[in-house]
Amino acid sequence: METELSKRLGIEHAIFGFTPFPAVAAAISRAGGFGVLGAVRYTAPDDLARDLDWMQEHSGGRPYGLDVVMPARKVEGVTEAEVEAMIPEGHRRFVEELLTKHGVPPLPEGEASGWRITGWMEHVARSQLDVAFDYPVKLLANALGSPPADVVDRAHDRGVLVAALAGSSAHARRHAEAGIDIVVAQGYEAGGHTGEIASMVLTPEVVDAVGPLPVLAAGGIGSGEQIAAGLALGAQGVWLGSIWLTTTEADLHSRALTAKLLAAGSGDTVRSRALTGKPARQLRTEWTDAWDDPDGPGTLPMPLQGLLVAEAVSRIQKHGTEPLLGTPVGQIVGRMTSERSVQQVFDELTRGFERAVDRIQRIAGRSGS
């Protein structure tokens, strides 16, 4: 699965694996792909430095990257406390009543929420970059559009390529104008924040819009055959995220959540604003149903929704409250039916890719005879 981009980065397979887990990212790089560590959960620079130290020791000398979340619009001079003060009391009551209904206990005294939306704030992302640029990261990806121009320049000065996710060809063209090196065409099927266009339509549109910039196909990809399809549409690689959630190296902190993912079908996800305030594909649960119910208060815009639900999400995860327990995940969850190591996933992907290529070659041979 070599392409011009994979050769440029010195990787065997043009598979870019996004994950919040250092052990998964390192295993992806060791397997011949390109591991990309998600940084949004690192609100303390020392924690990110600790895990990048670990990545350095366990990636086998292979290249890896970092994914940050820098909002397209910067809000100056507003503190987290001031943002939290904007949350209506009615929404706070709704959250507490929903947790009470399902018997979710509070966090132990003195224990803080393990997930905070502060990772979406630009000053936090910049502190992450201050740490990351002390390490030999080869790629910086941004999930909320193009990073600020000074960040792009800073990365380029260090020889770091910059990628940005796009949900439409218009988004992709803006990335190209901003000096982005790689565009990730993320289709509607993907986990997390997505647009409205499916991968089969989006990928060739983005390829046409930004060529010769390399494009990675993303969304709904979890087999070698689908990788072959992405490359056939003009992509120079694929960006996979959801498929790693049920690998043995992943650390979901909940066997109940792993079980839900393994049991879910491709129709068991929903695009909901329940987690962050922006449409994000995730497992459909009684939590998402409650927020999407027209009789409820409705979700708040980003970042208010994320601040509102941060502690609730931590409580649900800590106590494994099954009806409410969920995670961002794409429609590919229907293929995630067993726990496998990252290497086993790669083995299946490469075998599937070879089958697809052989099949197309046979078809082409017959049609040309």
Is residue 369 predicted with pLDDT exceeding 50?
no
Q: Provide the residue count of the chain.
A: 369
Whether 77 has a pLDDT exceeding 70, the answer reads: no
Q: Which residues pair with 281 in a beta bridge?
A: 192, 271
322 φ, ψ (degrees, to nearest 5)? -55, -45
The answer to whether residue 113 scores a pLDDT higher than 80 is no
What are residue 88's phi and psi, to 5 degrees? -65, 145
- What is the arithmetic mean of pLDDT over 295-315? 91
What pLDDT is recorded for position 143? 83
Instruction: Read off the pLDDT band of 114 (50, 70, 90).
Output: low
pLDDT single digits (tens) 200-238: 999 999 999 999 999 999 999 999 999 999 999 999 999
d(Cα 221, Cα 345) in Å, to the nearest integer? 12
Task: Provide CB contacts within 8 A for 140, sequence distance 6+.
Answer: 65, 66, 67, 68, 129, 132, 147, 151, 155, 160, 161, 162, 163
In degrees and rounded to multiples of 5, residue 272 shows phi and psi of -135, 150
Strand, helix or coil for residue 74: coil
Question: What is the reported pLDDT for 137?
Answer: 97
Alpha helical stretches, state H, 166-303: 169-177, 199-210, 224-232, 255-263, 286-292
Which strand (E) or helix (H) includes residue 215?
Answer: strand 215-218
Going through 22-180 in order, the beta strands assigned E by DSSP cover 34-38, 64-68, 139-142, 161-166
Span 348-353, average pLDDT = 98
**Alpha-helical runs (H) found in 211-300:** 224-232, 255-263, 286-292
